[in-house]
Each structure stands twice: as C-alpha cells, then as structure tokens.
Amino acid sequence: MPTIKPVHRILLLRPSALGDVCRTVPVLASLRHTWPEAEIYWVVQSEFAAAIEAHPALTGVIPFPREDFRRMWTRPSACSAFGRWIRELRRGRWDLAIDCQGLARTGLMLAASGARLRVGDRGAREGAWLGANRRVRVSPDCHEVDRMLELAVAAGAVIDPDPTLYVPSAASAWWREEAAKREDAFTVLATTSRWSSKAWPTDAWVELGTRLVERGSTKWIGLLGSSGEVQHVSEVAEALDARGIPCVDWSGRTNVAQMMAIIEAATLTVSNDSAALHMAVGLGGRYVGLFGPTDPARVGPWRKPEWAIRAPLEPGEQLSYRDPALGDRIMSRLSVDAVEKVIEGMCEEPVS
C-alpha cells in the first residue's frame, strides 16, 4: 500500500483511557523505527500525559483537556475553547495522522488535523472513520494492540513490537525517597477498576495478599488506587492490617507517574483489567491480570496470554462489562487458588 513521502511530522491520536494509552506505545515505537528523523506528537488526555511523556521516541505531547470541553454543545464557552484547540491542532502541518482510538472526538481531530494521510479503522464507532482518507479493515477478533498496529502498517510503518514505558525522572526521584523508608521486596495489588464488573471481590484480594506474605512470596503489599477509589482500597488495607499483613495504601496519594514508579519497583503486580496491568506490561516486571467479562485475548497482556486468567463463563454466556447489573458476579467465580497457581507458574518464567 503506497504511503506519502517524505514524512516529517506525525500525529498520533490516542487520548484515553489510561490503560489504552499505555498499550498504544508499540505504535509509537513502530512510527519511530520507520521514520527516525520525523517529529512525532501524541494527543493525550491531560491527566494521562505522564504515562508517555518520557518516552524517547516521542517529540512531544499535545494535551487534550477533556474536562474543559465537557457539555460543549450546551456551554458556549466550552464550545469556543474546543474550537480554539482544534484550530491550534491544525496548525501542525501534519504529513501523517493516525486515529488509534476510533471515537467521534478522535475522528473529528483526525479530519481537522489536515494531515495529507489520515489513517483510521473502517469499523470505528460513532462515525470516526469519516475523518480518515485511508480506511483500514481490521479483524474484529484481534488483540487491541494488533488492531492499532494494523493502522500503523497501513500508514507505511514497519512494526517494532516494543511496549516499553519510561518513568518520568521526577517520579523516579520521588520513589527513591519513598523506597528509603522501606526494605525488601513487595507486591502491588491493584484492586479497583472503573467498572465494578471487572473488579475481583475485596475478600479475594485480602486472602491473596495474606497468602503471598505468609508463604514468603513477598514481604509486604502495596495498594494502588485513584482519588475516587480510596474508600474501596482502604477496606482492603484495613482487612490486611487486621490479619497482621504489612501493607502501604497509596490510593489517592500518587499521580500517574508515581504509580508507574511503584509498579516498576515491585517484584509482582496483580491487577484487574485496569490501567495498572497495562503499566506493568510496559514496565517489564512480573504481572498477572484478572479478567471476567472482558476477554484477555483481545485486551489482556499483549503476547503474554499465560500471564492472565479469566473467570469461567457459562456456555453461550454473553456479557457486557458496562452492564451495571453484572456487579462482581463473573469475577467472583475466579478462585484465589486459581490465581495463586498462575502466579506460581509465572514466577518460574524469566522476565522478558
């Protein structure tokens, strides 16, 4: 498939969500591998920029202040602000733009970029494909990372399958100070999820943390969570403390970059299908992902299916993680014994 030549300026569109931003990095690596002299900019939601801003393949980030533009169809000031942001984006004089998200807002960004080659998924939701002038028919059953890489290939890129994330220097310095207060190896448990249907029950997390410490697999437990997840994480921390299990609750007290520093330092990360898991994949440590209504073959650890476990489903069971009635009905089928077995098998493998 012919591409444009030369390519001097590239725009990568993947504003959200945080886990998806993290697993888009192989696209960035492929673009840099193919066009080593090009300037590559990434449109990313402002609060997630720290996840990728230290990557050496990236020229710079273009923050997308999504909160400022909420309800812009009913708020003239927000509509005006979005219009200014779009006009500024167009001034980039892009040669190539790729929409890795495939929603209405990124389709609009793609169209408004004015790039000579605008690549998008032909099957993208909300009419996002309309912004592309090269529309790619991607297999609906492939892994999300492979889907995005197909877009990069359609743009002329040669795949470089490198998912590595880089911790910003300020967060690394913060961790050195934090680590000086503690000793020994620790395990991160990321017990929350934006969607309750993806979350393993609290008592299961408490039991797993207890076993890992009591059996000598780790010395203490680190707990992560956003400012909106403090109550849930504190319940896990209090239950572990009641059992005499040493733990540190970082929920609501760390930013994205600091979360990355913690996960990079951990000997093991166990996580629901959430951002922490995809950070762990990119930071090169050991990790296990817990899945229920979502399929790890499509959204799990890329090229590491054995480092994920899915709750058993009933024959023909059709699920949507967005269904509020689902609760933890599926995730509760996942036993602590089964998760522990995956951890034991994973720890026998060398870290890639």
Q: pLDDT digits over 282-305, tens only?
A: 999 899 999 999 999 999 999 999
Mean pLDDT, all residues of the chain: 94
pLDDT tens for each residue of 192-221:
998 999 999 999 999 999 999 999 999 999
Which residue carries 């090169």 as its tokens? 284
Cα gap 72→84, rounded to integer Å: 13
205 in any annotated domain: yes
Q: What angle do CA 70, 76, 79 make, to 5 degrees?
A: 55
Same domain? 132 vs 232:
no
R_g of the chain computed on alpha carbons: 21
Same domain? 128 vs 173:
no
Which residue carries 């979350």 as its tokens? 199
Same domain? 250 vs 224:
yes
Q: Which phi and psi (to 5°) does residue 72 adopt?
A: -70, -20
Is a pLDDT exceeding 80 seen at residue 348? no
Of the three residues 106, 122, 154, the one that is the final residue of a domain is 154
69 in any annotated domain: yes
CA nearest to 106, candidates 88, 91, 84, 121: 121
Partners of residue 48 on adjacent β-strands: none
Cβ atoms 188, 276 nearer than 8 A: yes
Same domain? 96 vs 132:
yes
Question: Which structural domain range is residue 203 located in?
Answer: 169-347
Same domain? 34 vs 59:
yes
Cα gap 228→240, rounded to integer Å: 21
Is a pLDDT exceeding 80 seen at residue 70? no
Show Cβ contacts of residue 105 under 8 Å, excluding neighbours closer than 6 positions.
Answer: 15
Q: Report the pLDDT value the prediction gives residue 149, as an integer from 0 to 100.
A: 98
Domain count, the chain: 2
What is the amino acid identity at position 163? P
**How many C-beta atoms surround the C-beta of residue 323 within 10 A?**
12
CA nearest to 17, candidates 340, 277, 307, 318: 277
Is a pLDDT exceeding 60 seen at residue 352? no
Averaged pLDDT, 264-286 = 96
Is a pLDDT exceeding 70 seen at residue 104? yes
257 in any annotated domain: yes
159 in any annotated domain: no
Cα gap 149→85, rounded to integer Å: 27
Assign 317 a pLDDT band (cuts: 50, 70, 90): confident
Q: Report the pLDDT value the prediction gives residue 182, as an integer from 0 to 100.
A: 85
Give the ranges where the chain is alpha helix by DSSP (H): 18-22, 25-34, 76-90, 104-113, 144-154, 169-179, 202-214, 230-242, 256-265, 275-283, 296-299, 336-347
CA nearest to 38, candidates 157, 154, 130, 144: 157
Is a pLDDT exceeding 90 seen at residue 59? yes
Of the three residues 154, 185, 210, the one that is the final residue of a domain is 154
Same domain? 310 vs 339:
yes
Same domain? 124 vs 230:
no
Same domain? 185 vs 332:
yes
Q: Report the pLDDT value the prediction gives residue 304, as an integer from 0 to 100.
A: 92
341 in any annotated domain: yes
Cβ atoms 29, 58 nearer than 8 A: no
Cα gap 234→330, rounded to integer Å: 23
Higher pLDDT, 156 or 73: 156
Give the tokens for residue 81. 């602000």
Cβ atoms 120, 110 nearer than 8 A: yes
Assign 2 a pLDDT band (cuts: 50, 70, 90): low
* Reported pTM: 0.94
Averaged pLDDT, 120-146 = 93
Q: Report the pLDDT value the prediction gives residue 219, as an integer from 0 to 100.
A: 95
Assign 139 a pLDDT band (cuts: 50, 70, 90): confident
Q: Report the pLDDT value the prediction gives residue 350, as an integer from 0 to 100.
A: 64
Same domain? 181 vs 309:
yes
